[in-house]
Chain A
């Protein structure tokens, strides 16, 4: 299991979790996680776009000229986002309604462009697909966890069940303020967890470049370009 494919897939789950470690895609994270099912819908839609765009961008990586790569990436991502949006509108109108503007906004989701730039533009197709799948799974897991916490505390329900709620609702958790609070707590928890998982990493290293979640992909010797 410890080969390059597994590593490419699994890094998105905790160690380089796009939401809690890379802190990308914060806008949909905060906006749609008022209910767990919204998080699941958003995560699935973004994962689909991520995997598909990673595959296509990886296939075209030798064709796309370096100078216009960003517009080219965006066109590819926008195409898949449009497909997702039409599919969700047709088959899951309820999800479409609750996600609202955030569904078309997947186009500008930093996770997808970030992976295209950092991974798919430089790696073969198989690895890029796995990278997209791992990052998508990490994003989806993050949204579902955050959505579940906010839904349970703020509405008393678990995936909309039961009708009246299990506990008295503490409405602040489904309001933006509660979203930021839960987000901060989960970032702290993921940082702790990833420190714990990384046995070799000492506290000292974590403060330097080695502690940066982008360290694997960072090619510049002089300094960090992901500031």
Chain B
């Protein structure tokens, strides 16, 4: 890449000063509220899972670049983001070696084997999560009741709101509780308020555009409402907020232009709702995003903008 001469228009040029490292640092900052919330809700074991995931992600990134004899990229912090996002997608009770295994798969298989940051065709953290779901279905479905580490709750494990929906327990779900993460679930997905805070920070810093998260959430809201479910509970539960704000917006795996982003976000919402309402799994955010990641190049091709003044695109 570096060797090719880059031909651009004549000077002067402005550089905004942003680089990958700055962007990734902003994402890490945006994830901090959810990280704090996860420790508050699930205790210090949550922190242990997060540390293990991030550390093994960094180590895997370093080692795989070393083995492949490629320039070292640990410094761009993208592996920290991947490790943290993966940890946010795991239940607090997961054995630590399994969490580390997920990180290794995410970085080595989903990212570095395809050429590193920007070359990965799906979100690495989600690949890690899906591989762990396929590998250790029991460990990945063990939901601890929040705040039970303080010894205040009667039960230690319980069902997640999405598993309760459609059963008698659905009446107990209160949207306000969901907003502050007082429910069973993965580490980082439960506290919707903290995730929203991070999302707003990213939008304000122009790291992400609000287009994908807003349309994704709106699609889920409208579709679940049409299908007769409680749309507010649907939007606030599961990994939807985490997925919509932090995973669906991954630069490398979502379409570039606006029309493509809209199609992509609607697709994410549609698949999520289909899996939630009609699938055998209670939650479908990770599969929805991965499927749309894979479809992104096709969406990109279909929504290619026509240059001003050019004729109608000729199909080759």
Which residues does A use to contact B, with CB under 8 Å?
169-173, 175, 177-178, 181
Interface size of B by CB at 8 A reads: 7
Find out whether the CB atom of A170 lies under 8 angstroms from the CB atom of B136.
yes
Most buried by A among B109, B135, B136: B135
Bound-state Cα–Cα, A117 to B134, Å: 41
> Which residue of A has the minimal Cβ distance to B97?
A168
Find out whether the CB atom of A171 lies under 8 angstroms from the CB atom of B109.
no
CB distance from B232 to the nearest CB of A (A): 35
Contacts of A175 in B (CB 8 A): 134
Bound-state Cα–Cα, A121 to B101, Å: 50
Find out whether the CB atom of A171 lies under 8 angstroms from the CB atom of B137.
yes
Most buried by B among A172, A173, A175, A178: A172
Find out whether the CB atom of B137 lies under 8 angstroms from the CB atom of A170.
no
Find out whether the CB atom of B101 lies under 8 angstroms from the CB atom of A170.
yes
> Can you pick out 5 interface pairs between chain A and chain B where the beta carbons lie within 8 Å of each other?
A170-B135, A171-B135, A171-B137, A172-B135, A177-B131
Contacts of B137 in A (CB 8 A): 171
Contacts of B134 in A (CB 8 A): 171-172, 175, 177-178
CB distance from A97 to the nearest CB of B (A): 24
CB distance from A65 to the nearest CB of B (A): 44
CB distance from A23 to the nearest CB of B (A): 19
Across the A-B interface, how many residue pairs have beta carbons closer than 8 Å? 17
Bound-state Cα–Cα, A177 to B134, Å: 9
Contacts of A178 in B (CB 8 A): 134
Contacts of B135 in A (CB 8 A): 169-173
CB distance from A175 to the nearest CB of B (A): 5
Contacts of A170 in B (CB 8 A): 101, 135-136
Contacts of B131 in A (CB 8 A): 172, 177
> Which residue of A has the minimal Cβ distance to B95?
A168
Bound-state Cα–Cα, A170 to B131, Å: 9
Bound-state Cα–Cα, A175 to B133, Å: 12
CB distance from A206 to the nearest CB of B (A): 20
Most buried by A among B101, B109, B131, B137: B131
Find out whether the CB atom of B109 lies under 8 angstroms from the CB atom of A181.
yes
CB distance from A64 to the nearest CB of B (A): 45
Bound-state Cα–Cα, A175 to B134, Å: 8
Contacts of A169 in B (CB 8 A): 135
Residue-wise, chain B 96-140 has the 8 Å CB interface mask toward A (1 for contact) of 000001000000010000000000000000000001001111000
CB distance from A156 to the nearest CB of B (A): 12
Contacts of B109 in A (CB 8 A): 181
CB distance from A182 to the nearest CB of B (A): 12
> Which residue of A has the minimal Cβ distance to B132?
A172
Contacts of B101 in A (CB 8 A): 170
Bound-state Cα–Cα, A131 to B109, Å: 37
- Cβ-closest 3 pairs across A and B: A172-B134, A172-B135, A170-B135
> Which residue of B has the minimal Cβ distance to A154?
B135
Bound-state Cα–Cα, A172 to B131, Å: 7
Could you tell me which residues of chain B, from 126 to 173, have a CB within 8 Å of some CB in chain A?
Answer: 131, 134-137
CB distance from B66 to the nearest CB of A (A): 19
Bound-state Cα–Cα, A181 to B134, Å: 14
> Which residue of A has the minimal Cβ distance to B134?
A172
> Which residue of B has the minimal Cβ distance to A175?
B134
CB distance from B103 to the nearest CB of A (A): 14
Contacts of B136 in A (CB 8 A): 170-171
> Which residue of B has the minimal Cβ distance to A181?
B109
Contacts of A171 in B (CB 8 A): 134-137
> Which residue of B has the minimal Cβ distance to A171?
B135
> Which residue of B has the minimal Cβ distance to A177?
B134
Residue-wise, chain B 49-76 has the 8 Å CB interface mask toward A (1 for contact) of 0000000000000000000000000000
Contacts of A181 in B (CB 8 A): 109
CB distance from A61 to the nearest CB of B (A): 45
Residue-wise, chain B 271-283 has the 8 Å CB interface mask toward A (1 for contact) of 0000000000000
> Which residue of A has the minimal Cβ distance to B131?
A172
Bound-state Cα–Cα, A169 to B109, Å: 19
Most buried by B among A171, A175, A178: A171
> Which residue of A has the minimal Cβ distance to B101?
A170
> Which residue of A has the minimal Cβ distance to B138?
A171
Bound-state Cα–Cα, A169 to B95, Å: 13
Bound-state Cα–Cα, A171 to B134, Å: 6
Could you tell me which residues of chain B, from 81 to 106, have a CB within 8 Å of some CB in chain A?
Answer: 101
CB distance from A60 to the nearest CB of B (A): 48
Bound-state Cα–Cα, A171 to B135, Å: 4
Bound-state Cα–Cα, A178 to B137, Å: 15
Bound-state Cα–Cα, A181 to B300, Å: 27
